[in-house]
Amino acid sequence: MSRLAVPKTYKLYIGGAFPRSESGRTYEITTAKGAFLANAAQASRKDARDAVVAARAAQAGWANATAYNRGQVLYRIAELLEGRHAQFVDELRASEGVSAAAAARQVDDAIDTWVWYAGWADKYVQVAGSGNPVAGPYFNLSVPEPTGVVAIVAPQGASSLLGLVSVLAPALVSGNSVVVVADQAHPLSAISLAEVLATSDVPGGVVNILTGSPAEIAPWLAAHADVNALDLTGAGELEWVELQIAAADTLKRVVEPEPGVPGRSLDRILAFTETKTVWHTKALI
């Protein structure tokens, strides 16, 4: 006798909880061939603002965690993702219409991307920082610190899981909190990733995931005064210059669009950091 399956309700991920969109809106997610898969929440301006509030509230705590701790938390994400490997392969096959082998490669790559960035947590400061030999009796040190709240438009259209992880991990590793708009057409693995994050010791609010229309949500994030940086990697199809102009009002750091899935890079970590230079007097002895 066949058992009737229990489908999942896909919602947003804000402040560590899984709310529906306050707007009550959903949109249909289909397979590559057009068959119904699920309804995803269609996030609104208010959802985006709620996500920024959650991200701001969580940021200091995440940044103040030790680098060793942040590295372990990111590594923990990789561990849990590995455990759910099969689920993500199924979801990607259904949503993106890719082969089992291609889906598995994407999940493998996403896991390895978490591991790669996890290792940077307690190293990027050493690589990018400096002890400065100033001409005077001063101890002088420059260290990169997280920028604050980073709003991200994730890569759109293909490799939805890997694309999301490739923009999320580098922003997180230094201690930023994130509001990310997932791949509009393939948002299901983003919400399943949220379930992984929620059980990986990532504090609530550090990652907030919105599903819906980037064209609708991104302008509110670009103009939001409590967002410090804007990653437009997946915004190539949007009016992204307008987003960059809106971001200039509060002088946000902006990363311009890039086609496809961005590679792993230290530059991507440093794009969301600020260099702080501390001068301290030395006694004249």
Partner 1 sequence: MAKDLAPTSATGFLDYAPAPESTSILHLQKSYGLFIDGAFVRGHGTPFASVSPATEKHIAEIATATPKDVDVAVAAARRAYDKTWSKLSGADRGKYLFRIARLVQERARELAVAESLDNGKPIKESRDVDVPLVAAWFFYYAGWADKLDHAGLGANPRALGVAAQVIPWNFPLLMLAWKIAPALAAGNTVVLKPAETTSLTALLFAEIVQQAELPNGVVNIVTGAGETGAALVRHPDVNKVAFTGSTAVGREIAKAVAGTGKKVTLELGGKAANIVFDDAPIDQAVEGIVNGIFFNQGHVCCAGSRLLVQESIHDEVVDRLKTRLATLRLGDPLDKNTDIGAINSREQLERIRELSDIGEAEGAERWTAPCVIPENGFWFAPTIFDHVSTSSRIAREEIFGPVLSVLTFRTPAEAIAKANNTPYGLSAGIWSDKGSKILAVADKLRAGVIWANTFNRFDPASPFGGYKESGYGREGGRQGLAAYLQAGTALKGAK
Positions that interact with partner 1 (CB under 8 A): 127-128, 130, 132-136, 138, 140, 142, 147-148, 228, 232, 240-241, 244-245, 247-251, 253-258, 262-263, 265, 267-268, 270-271, 274-281
- Of 126 and 199, nearer to partner 1 (C-beta) is 126
Nearer to partner 1, 39 or 130 (CB): 130
The distance of closest approach from Cβ of residue 207 to partner 1 in the complex, given in angstroms and rounded to an integer, is 21
Minimum gap (Å) between residue 279 Cβ and partner 1? 5
Nearest Cα residue to 146 out of 258, 250, 56? 56
Nearest CA to 108 out of 86, 127, 126, 91 is that of 86
Q: Phi and psi of 17, rounded to 5°?
A: -115, 170
Least distance in angstroms from the C-beta of 72 to partner 1: 21
In the complex, the smallest distance separating the C-beta of residue 175 from partner 1, rounded to whole angstroms, is: 12
Q: Which C-beta is closer to partner 1: that of 33 or that of 280?
A: 280
Whole-number Å distance between alpha carbons of 189 and 194:
8
Q: Is the dihedral of CA 105, 107, 110, 112 positive or negative?
A: negative
Min. distance of Cβ 161 from partner 1 in angstroms? 21
**Which CB atom, from 93 or from 123, has the smaller least distance to partner 1?**
123
Would you list the DSSP string of 178-227?
Answer: EEEEPPSS--HHHHHHHHHHHTTTPPTTSEEEE-S-HHHHHHHHHH-TT-
CB 144 within 8 A of CB 275: yes
> Taking the complex as a whole, how short is the minimal distance between the CB of residue 240 and partner 1, in angstroms?
7
Q: How far apart are CA 247 and CA 221, in angstroms?
A: 9
- By C-beta, is 1 or 251 nearer to partner 1? 251
Is the CB of 34 or the CB of 136 nearer to partner 1? 136
Tokens representing residue 54 in the block: 């959650």
Within 10 angstroms of residue 66's Cβ, the number of other Cβ atoms is 10
